[in-house]
Amino acid sequence: MDTLERYAPNENLRRDEAAWRAQNIDWHFAEIQLDVSNATDSSASGYSSITTLNFSSKRAETFIDFIHESVDEVLVNGTAVDLDSAVLDARIYLDNLRTDVPNTVKITGTALYSRSGEGLHRFVDPQDGQTYLYTQFEPSEARRVFACFEQPDLKTSYRFTLTGPAAWHLASNQPIVDEVLHDNGTKTVACAPTPPISSYITAVLAGPYHVVRGEHIQKLEDGEELSIEMAATCRASLAKHFDGEEIIKLTSQGLDYYHQLFDYPYPWGKYDSAFVPEYNLGAMENPGLVTFTERYVFTSQATEAQHEQRANTLMHEMAHMWFGDLVTMKWWDDLWLKESFADYIGTLANDEATDFTTAWTTFAARRKAWAYVADQMPTTHPIVADIPDLLAADQNFDGITYAKGASVLKQLAAFVGADAFRDAARAYFRKHAYSNTSLDDFLEALETASGRDMGAWAEAWLKTSGVPKLHVQYDTDEAGTITAASLIQSGTDPVTGEKIARPHVLSVGAYQLADGKLSRTDSARVELAGESAALDFLVGSKVPDLVLPNDGDETYALIEFDQVSRATLLAHLSGLTDSLPRATCWASLWDAVRSATLDAQSYVQAILDHAHTVTDAGVFGVLTDQLITSISKYAAPELRAELRTRAVGVLTGWLTEFESGSDQQTTTARTLARLARAGVAGQVIDAFLGEQPNQYQVTVDEQLLWASYIALAAAGRLDEAAEARMHEAAKAKPTSVALNAVRTALAARPDAQVKETAFDTVLMARDEQGELSNDALSATALGFTMGSAALLAPFEQRYWAAVLPVFETMGMEFATRVIEGLFPGHQDLDGAVEQNQALAAATNWLERHEGAPTALKRILLEERAELERSLKAQAYSRTSR
């Protein structure tokens, strides 16, 4: 790009535009003044936003990003510019810049409060009427709050000044250095300037937040001490549920661990952890002000798995303080340089620095499964992806960038050694602190630390797509003794069509069954450089009951078990007592169900036979989720009723078998409530909603209460009396959880008019009370989809007529929620797979709309692929009866 283009719409910044701007701009600092004093006034749509940017430019022209309600004044070096010529859609074009001295540009305008979780989100607490604000910017939403150069490789120092109600907690990335109270009941706080950071990790928090404070003292190598002020915040109405001291403790543990690992002191001054409502993500790594979903403030009994997941998220975000915040990718192609690293290092920290010592087991069962799903989609891509613009960047926060990348980095640590990996990270931070990098920069650090050429490894792992599959092949003599054995790698890169031939360093284990236990009797360390590697340690022995490639889960690959091993696992999985190999086996069997090589009914039976012996709370939760999905999506329709009845019988027995109040009992009760949506387990649901204590000795907390009402509604049993009790419960405790659950329950009722209303509500993102929030929209869509395929079939034609207008008129977050939420993905196989009307409609739409936005087509391609996978699994289930 040689010249500056003017066009509209222009929210979707292109990579070449960003590169052009980065070549010409040197950004010195930005002063941001935000006045949210009117936030409690529901009629106020926006707030004052004043930005002063100081930068040098090699050219007289550039553009500044600002998605606004209004732009009232633009001053360039003190001179006003003509707004009609300068302001075009989401950009402010300037053509009178100085090239000999720095420029000062001041932009005064009004920005909009958000309901979508993008930009500055405004939430009114239904319990006490208090108003809360927080920001979420990644990848490119800072421009919804203030004018800026919205791209990661234009870092600068930000100085935030915030004005709001005097009683409010106001915060940004750096500590407050000045505060002024005003006579009108407001105050203004000035924050210290940040070190150089990218716009997407700036942050603002404002509202009557409950605050828990702490301090972490970090001892440095020179004998000095680094004091880090910590705060953990949540809404005031959640304070009684908030274990802020635990958050402070975990934060201290993480800071100690990362300081030792990276040998680079925490560089951001303070460390705030803010738990916020209606959050689109799990968390965001804003330095000094990390935001988390308030789902991590547990209002119901929290299982060990929930606590572990929260700790893992906290460690993931803390890893970003170095990987991503201190050293940042130049453009979103290298998003993996922060997300893959944070996923890997965060899990490592959770395992080594906290009490959650099964973090890698949970990763194998849940996180890695996300990667396998994403990497088998038609939209799969290399870890180092091609990101031409911001819309593409927004969609690459996926299982490949996060969990596959983390899995590959775990394999990298095995490949070069943990010490070399650590030393490379340390050198990388020292060399590139407060700057931007690409893949080559990290590979250079790795090569120096390990003494190995990383080029071939990077080509094989980071620049190819698809999941490799591993299986063991052996020959035996007449006596059943193994005479030859090999580990075989197979698979095809779905993007290039070439064979997958990646280097692996892994262990292969041999297990024997004795007295109901599967014990490892032998193992070998194997370097698989291409298609196969000899397994000499098996030669001369009888065929083991189980041969487990990737024993220890060190590499990224699915396992195709031989017939003996699969049969052993289905019958004796509970005999495998080591948690990580057990999780690896469950994950590979689950993929076999999804790939239609293992029938769903066999997997359901395996769960019912063995899951109750699983002591890892995270894995147990994964298995109960898979139980639901196996029955509802992957089993032949004619088998589901019997499978649900069988599952309800077993799980009801578990309720009394497990200790009252235990994680397993809590998870089992919640699973029964989900099963009950299909009209089973009515007696159990009635007990949960009846007088307490119930016959199962299950504590009915907020989550189980509302899951039970949703089940009652979906099953068609929410009569007038039950509905009245539901509304009374929500009125008595009008939490956001309760109000959204009521939305789901009302939309879940199996009635055509109910579905019509819910469908229209989601499509318009409005109801009789006005615009929906992001969470309210998804809650309504969830209820709509709780219906038979026959009940929902009349809406399919309307869906396909609406998807393009929805995408073109709604923001990315709302459009994605609508299109994914209403997709007709739950289908019953009737005849051949290719004859399914919903699948054919998806195919036809994509064929007719080749010119549709790439981001929209990606959503629909993935939804179509999941539907096709579901139908193929149902067909396999039917033929395997």
> Is 341:323 a contact under the CB 8 Å cutoff?
yes
Taking the C-alpha atoms of residue 139 and residue 332, their distance in angstroms, rounded to an integer, is 9
Taking the C-alpha atoms of residue 656 and residue 840, their distance in angstroms, rounded to an integer, is 46
> Is 703:300 a contact under the CB 8 Å cutoff?
yes
Three-state DSSP at 421 gives helix
Q: What is the enclosing helix (H) or strand (E) of 617?
A: helix 617-629
> Is 111:119 a contact under the CB 8 Å cutoff?
yes
Measured in whole angstroms, the distance separating CA 806 from the mean position of its chain's CA atoms is: 23
**Nearest CA among 162, 136, 460, 398 for reference residue 280:** 136
Q: Looking at the DSSP assignment, which residues form a beta bridge with residue 473?
A: 486
Q: At what angle do helices 637-657 and 600-610 cross, to 10 degrees?
A: 10
The sign of the torsion formed by the CA atoms of 204, 210, 215, 216 equals negative
- The residue type found at 407 is S
Q: Looking at the DSSP assignment, which residues form a beta bridge with residue 289?
A: 272
Taking the C-alpha atoms of residue 189 and residue 137, their distance in angstroms, rounded to an integer, is 21
| Three-state secondary structure of 650-686 | HHHHHHHHCCCCCHHHHHHHHHHHHHHHHCCCHHHHH
Three-state DSSP at 287 gives coil
Three-state DSSP at 587 gives helix
**Nearest CA among 719, 770, 779 for reference residue 743:** 779
Outline where DSSP puts E strands in 36-94: 46-57, 62-65, 70-76, 79-80, 87-88, 91-94
Residue 214 CB-density burial (10 A; 0-12 exposed, 13-18 middle, 19+ buried): middle
Q: State both tokens at 782.
A: 């969830």
- The residue type found at 440 is D
- The residue type found at 439 is L
What is the full DSSP assignment across 466-522? S--EEEEEEEE-TTSBEEEEEEEEE-B-TTT-PBP---EEEEEEEEEEETTEEEEEE
Is the preceding omega at residue 9 within 30 degrees of 0, hence cis? yes
Taking the C-alpha atoms of residue 740 and residue 775, their distance in angstroms, rounded to an integer, is 7
Q: State both tokens at 789.
A: 């395929």
**Nearest CA among 197, 103, 102 for reference residue 153:** 197
> Is 138:154 a contact under the CB 8 Å cutoff?
no
Who's near 211: CB < 8 A, 6+ residues apart? 169, 231, 232, 233
Taking the C-alpha atoms of residue 276 and residue 494, their distance in angstroms, rounded to an integer, is 39
Is the preceding omega at residue 853 within 30 degrees of 0, hence cis? no
Q: Looking at the DSSP assignment, which residues form a beta bridge with residue 163?
A: 35, 188
Measured in whole angstroms, the distance separating CA 646 from the mean position of its chain's CA atoms is: 33
How far are the Cα atoms of 481, 539, 551 from residue 542, in angstroms, in the given order? 5, 8, 19
**Nearest CA among 296, 245, 293, 282 for reference residue 134:** 293
> Is 598:635 a contact under the CB 8 Å cutoff?
no
* Catalytically annotated residues: 317
